[in-house]
Amino acid sequence: MPSSWMRRGVWAAALVGLVAILVFVALPFIASTRIVRDRIAWEMSAWSGYRVTIAGAPQIEVWPQFRAILTQVALSKWTDASEQPVIEAERIEVGLSAMAALRGDVVFSSARLIRPTIRVERTADGLYLPAFPEGGRISRSVDAARALLAADPANPDLGRLPADPLGIFEFRDGRIVASANGKEEEIATSLTGQASWSAMNSSASLTASGIWHGEGVTLEASSPKPLLLAAGGPAPFTLNFKAAPANLSFDGTASFSANAYVDGQVKFSAPSLRRMLDWSGTGIAPGAAIGSVSISSKVSGSAGRLKFDSAEIVLDKNPGMGALDFALAEGRPVVSGTLAFETLDLGSFLSAFTPLASSAGQVSGEIDTSFADRLNLDLRLSAAHATAGAIPLAEVAATAQVKNGLAAFDVSDAVAFGGNVQTSLRFDRDPGGTQVEMRLLASDINGGAFGAATGMSRLMPTGTGTISVILKGPGKGWNSVLENADGSITANFGAGALPGLNLPAFLKRNSERGFFPLDDVDDGSLAIEGAELKASISKGVVRIDKAQAVSGKSRLWLTGIMPYAGRGLALSGGIADTTAAAAPATGEGAAAAPANLPQFFVGGSWSRPFISPVRPATPAQ
């Protein structure tokens, strides 16, 4: 008995092995005769809703996985066979169920698309989407989910969602193209990734990488209820987008219906806001790599308007908090809100939104105002402490506005130099060119602190005073603006001193009649009871109408012109006796001054003035 059992076992094992060999050998034949002949194409059409054509001869592989290898596969709309395929791939590897194949059925377990091309069309709202199929199991599943949402939008019966099995879909070296002017334009290339969706009523995830606008990008998205999302209903959704110019993540609830909305937590960062805007296709010319920004906030709203509450924002390493609104109006992004900073670099902030300088940081660079046609901005800012270059500020209240060719930045209130400062900078594009306007009002400030911070410490009164500067001019670059500017400068100071002037040494050199640089007599200071300046600016030429400082019984005065082009000096000056009955106030009146009072001419350049005596001091008669 044992030996007969053994013989029977050997025969059974041999029979099983023979059947396995026959199945292994027969599968390609069975598949090629009962599946490949239109069955795979039919099943792919039934799922996708597109008309599927397979031009190449299929190949069947059994080991290590039973699969069909299809070449030259195209998925097209049923309604118009003349149109280019919506999706086409050089090769598709389809994982199949071996047992289903023996029954003559097709059951997909996976699909891998090699070098696929997806053709998209631009929609009315600016998105690029492929032509949607007309029917198919996926489309019918979405319709079923949409019906459940319509029956009970707040609490749809998830148990009745279709449960058709799907699988894993991979793609390698793909691209997305769109038609433009009769030619195909590549939107994204080198697309590689995987979508995992085991069943229509289960969770789904997508990972992908590729090249968009010349930069490598990666994308990760997932949802536990993807069918509800596809049907336009609300569902949990996570998204992570990474690229060198910008990173974005979202975790919350989303709806992709006609009234799409999001509600969750968002994080965004860009090392250069200007670079990010240029990369994203807004048309803003890339300037210097400045204006980094990062935002972490609760976000809610629709595709047309997003609201960021309790936003934590870091602008070029300046942290702040506030609320922001982001919207689209006439194809332009619109940003508005209120932000509060502990510290703020106003130069970095302005550089993010306004063309303060060329990419090389030179004053000779052109002013780029194209951003004002592509962005609307309305921000209210406050900062406990701020800097404008080397100038420290405190208790700053400011606004930034960009709209319809106009860009304006106003500091309505700030504490600086021991007093109060108000300033504004405006760029206005009109048919005649760019107009730039700059204003400064510094009230009750310490002149010494102002001179030290602005690099104008020479001959800047150190007392308390007020300065007003108004400049307005056209031009494509900062130099051309300043060379053509009109405006005015006024200043009034109380008791203090004029640094950089050794008056006894000045009078001695003046009496020697030879011209000399002002640097030779700058090793002292002159105590004064007050100082006053009134100057007008026309076409870049500063005309000093009145400039005087009173020291004891003497009054120092200057008149003349200082053109911005060339930075030359053509000034007349002198020292008058305040006890005289009619002290001269200008150069014309100086001719009547007593002979013992000196007069001189100031030439040279702004940075290196020279004194040429006109009449040296002589002993009084």
* Angstrom distance (rounded) from CA 322 to CA 20: 70
Task: Residue count of the chain, please give it.
Answer: 621
Alpha-carbon dihedral sign for residues 244, 246, 251, 255 = negative
* Angstrom distance (rounded) from CA 30 to CA 129: 39
pLDDT score recorded for residue 100: 58
Identify any residues that bridge with 560 across adjacent strands, giving them in sequence order: 544, 571
Digit-coded pLDDT (tens) for 552-563: 888 999 999 999
Cis amide bond preceding 64, omega within 30: yes
pLDDT at residue 485 is higher than 60 = yes
Between residues 347 and 496, which one has the greater pLDDT? 496
* Angstrom distance (rounded) from CA 36 to CA 195: 25
Band (pLDDT 50/70/90 cuts) for residue 470 is very high
Mean pLDDT, range 575-602, rounded to an integer: 62
pLDDT at residue 327 is higher than 90 = no
Mean pLDDT of the chain: 81
* Angstrom distance (rounded) from CA 585 to CA 576: 9
Residue type, 319: P
Identify any residues that bridge with 241 across adjacent strands, giving them in sequence order: 219, 248
pLDDT score recorded for residue 441: 95
Closest Cα to residue 424, out of 435, 406, 415, 412?
412
Mean pLDDT, range 267-272, rounded to an integer: 91
Please, where are the H alpha helices in 116-249? 137-151, 226-230
* Angstrom distance (rounded) from CA 207 to CA 186: 21
* Angstrom distance (rounded) from CA 221 to CA 206: 5
* C-beta separation of 291 from 315 below 8 A: yes
Structure-derived torsion over alpha carbons of residues 388, 389, 392, 397, reported in degrees to the nearest 10: 10
CB neighbour class for 522 (10 Å; exposed up to 12, middle 13-18, buried from 19): middle
pLDDT score recorded for residue 435: 85
The reply to whether the predicted model has a pTM over 0.85 is: no
Structure tokens of 133?
């199929």
Closest Cα to residue 541, out of 578, 498, 505, 570?
570
Between residues 46 and 253, which one has the greater pLDDT? 253
Contacts of 64 (CB under 8 A, 6+ apart): none
Contacts of 301 (CB under 8 A, 6+ apart): 261, 262, 307
Between residues 95 and 11, which one has the greater pLDDT? 95
pLDDT score recorded for residue 328: 77
Between residues 56 and 471, which one has the greater pLDDT? 471
* C-beta separation of 204 from 185 below 8 A: no
Alpha-carbon dihedral sign for residues 335, 341, 346, 347 = negative
Digit-coded pLDDT (tens) for 235-247: 999 999 999 999 9
pLDDT score recorded for residue 547: 94
Digit-coded pLDDT (tens) for 121-179: 877 666 678 888 878 888 899 999 999 998 998 888 888 988 888 888 899 999 999 87
Closest Cα to residue 611, out of 492, 498, 502?
502
pLDDT score recorded for residue 593: 45
Structure tokens of 542?
């500063």
Please, where are the H alpha helices in 67-151? 98-102, 137-151
pLDDT at residue 38 is higher than 70 = no
pLDDT score recorded for residue 210: 96
* Angstrom distance (rounded) from CA 484 to CA 500: 31
Digit-coded pLDDT (tens) for 331-386: 678 889 999 999 988 877 776 665 554 444 444 455 666 666 667 889 999 999 99
pLDDT at residue 574 is higher than 80 = yes
Q: What percent of the chain has pLDDT over 70?
A: 80
Between residues 582 and 598, which one has the greater pLDDT? 598
Digit-coded pLDDT (tens) for 396-450: 999 988 887 788 889 999 999 999 999 998 888 776 677 889 999 999 999 989 8
Structure tokens of 93?
């590897």
* Rg value, the chain, Cα: 39
Digit-coded pLDDT (tens) for 279-324: 876 555 545 445 688 999 999 998 778 999 989 988 878 889 999 9
pLDDT at residue 542 is higher than 50 = yes
